Structure 1
């Protein structure tokens, strides 16, 4: 009897050891991507039955691709070669410091790297990521410094008739401090949501590092959802899990801008902030740049700092609401009220480049002060992360 009990206990112990390790047996002993000392990178994937494997990502030279916005810069492709064990690989030349994204294309099917667990979602697409360190890419890393906190809160929006989800970064030491802080409202682009800036934009890492280096003032960063028919990001709101879309109804018809005071009131009622114009900033990328332009003009004595990152400055058929009326008069009122910084940045090959030049010409004709930054590249997160790292140190000085 004792022998039977001992055998049963042994069997149970073996099961306890084996089944939690199931994921290990499924794993491949492959390192991909492997960043070498000279900043070259090797990609590997086990696909013994594949006939062709390619890698595509923003570490490769850009090509023109079709998109809902017309032709834009997109990532190129590079071929991998197969060894006798069925492992495909490709080693790049040394590449510059940056946070990069990539995917594999196996016999025409685009897929993520099974050996890299680090992924991000951009609209409805998932990509693997890796960082080549040095230079400005050090701002994108989690370094051994004091860290802020990131919370997802729900706020009441009477203007939109619903509770809505919002992402808020508070600087290191906020919880134990009695200080009050300035606020940056940071807005996403079309297809994004309240997850975009914190995940794709590396907002927490950038702010943590800039604050630790003494290059930026400790600040609260508020990242709302600009899609007014959503209460939260796909998978995070009351509609639960559904496929995200690039353009959602009512995102650029004035509804969001008209209800933006709900967000400001929530923040200033629930956080220790300096609730005046000198301590409020607003910035956004693409559609968020469009929202920034109109929110700061519609509430012309509310923000001292504005940042337009690759702003979607273009005529729209649905831009007929009250927010868009009296454009010239309200823009002049914003100028006459005074502000500290009106900052415009765009890439030389951005499909919105010409529209931004036309807007700059308008500001020039009005003698409205602004600062202009022109970078390489197009309508890409690589630019927007850099723009945030350049804009944040200019705030609240």
Structure 2
């Protein structure tokens, strides 16, 4: 008996030691530290480092040339080494309420902040994040309100001949209410996937808070994977841990206009699986960048499907060389779409966005034809900060 007790004690001690293992790597410093005046201090213990910098969207943006135009890159600031090899940087001014991302650069090597466990992936880049609360940023936080449910689900797309993954948000009370709900289809940009809006866009937090405040109608939000060649986000399909990329080689094998042509597969699955209200007056579609292009094309090609359309940082344009039915008869299809009087056609863009001119040209086309739309212009460029703003502006306008 005594031997059994000793063995049990040994097993317990072993289990306890494993349970405590994660605590051994506790961060040696506090970072980021948000002060009462909303200045923020970043720290990194790196006694052997020669240079430590922080880069993030809380710093003034750096314009960089790309093949697609001028992009806004996160700014960079130097940390100063202090006692015990702890490097430190404090913002010179308070930060405005917002969700911010950042990372460190140590002797030229980018790394995450080991003191901050909060991370987000954007395509192939991982960054730390923190929130300065207040104003609109309160919508990005998890507040003490009723919460919806987020599901990752698989559906079959006969058009694309594969099973595909999507993310679905159902509002608080969906499981027990017995009610039917309108549906908002929310599309990501180039390089993104079905995880982008829920993680980077804070969709569930924004919808939870807007609905709880009575500013938005309870709705289902469907976030698809807009890459027609892809089953799911990196690491979530049978392809395993593939490297995320903006321009994967598989893209050239995807049918032209494949995502748009296959979109009814998504709608059919959602309307079969969830308690939804049907009809164009109960369906909305919106997207950012590439997702804006998709939203414009889908809503134009299927003019009876969506009563609400949102184009964030992007627009649709003619493609006279294409033979794909989605892109042909451009102006004729646009005329048909607006003859059906969309309940809301919403366009939003940043003043310094590299797509600003194309959005302006598209607005002129709409104006010249007398097609009614709403326009929202913000500061900044092609960034998630803007797309979260557009979501908070667009969602309250739906299904009224």
Corresponding position: 1:325 with 2:324 = no
**1:392 maps onto 2:395 in alignment:** yes
Name the structure 2 match of 1:130.
130
Structure 1 residues 137-173: Cα deviation after superposition (integer angstroms, max 9, x where no partner): 0000000100000001111101100111111000110
1:351 to 351, 354, 374: 354
Q: Deviations over 1:260-312 (max 9, x none)?
A: 11011111111111110111100000000000110000001211110000015
Partner of residue 372, structure 2 = 369
The answer on whether the counterparts of 2:234 and 2:241 sit within 8 Å (CA) in structure 1 is yes
SS of aligned partner of 2:174: coil
Q: Does 1:269 align with 2:268?
A: no
Report the Cα distance in structure 2 between the residues aligned to 1:242 and 1:199, rounded to whole angstroms.
20
Deviates more, 1:212-221 or 1:88-97: 88-97
C-alpha distance in 2 between matches for 1:370 and 1:360: 9
Q: Distance in 2 between matches of 1:216 and 1:233?
A: 29
| RMSD over equivalenced CA pairs, Å | 1.9
Query: How far off its partner does 1:83 sit?
Result: 1.1
The equivalent of 2:281 in structure 1 is: 278
Instruction: Give how far 1:315 is off.
Output: 6.2
TM-score by length of 2: 0.95
Query: Which residue pairs with 1:83 in the alignment?
Result: 82
The structure-2 alpha-carbon separation of the partners of 1:312 and 1:17, relative to structure 1 and needing over 3 Å to count, comes to same
Provide the C-alpha distance between the structure 1 equivalents of 2:326 and 2:294, rounded to a whole number of angstroms: 10
Correspondences of 1:206-221 after superposition (within 5 Å) = 206-221=206-221
2:157 and 2:383 map into 1 onto residues whose CA distance is 31
Query: Across the two proteins, how many residue pairs are aligned to each other?
Result: 396
Mapped partners of 2:143, 2:293: distance in 1: 33
Normalising by structure 1, we get a TM-score of 0.95
- Residue 167 of structure 2: aligned partner: 167
Q: Go from structure 1 to structure 2 and tell me whether the alpha carbon gap of 1:150 and 1:8 turns closer, same or farther (over 3 Å shift).
A: closer
1:255 is matched with which residue?
258
Match of residue 243 from structure 2: 243
Q: Is 1:50 matched up with 2:49? A: yes
Q: Does 1:106 align with 2:110?
A: no
Write the distance in 2 (CA, Å) between the matches of 1:304 and 1:16: 57
C-alpha contact 2:318 2:327 (8 A) present in aligned 1 = no
Q: What's the CA shift string for 1:228-247, capped at 9, x where partnerless?
A: 11111110112121111113
Q: Is the 8 A contact 2:28 2:45 kept in 1?
A: no
- Give the distance between the partners of 2:371 and 2:284, measured in 1 at CA: 18
Contact 2:318-2:330 within 8 A present in 1 as well: no
In the alignment, structure 1 segments of 5+ residues that lack a partner are none
How far apart are the structure 2 equivalents of 1:57 and 1:316? 37
**1:31 counterpart residue number:** 30
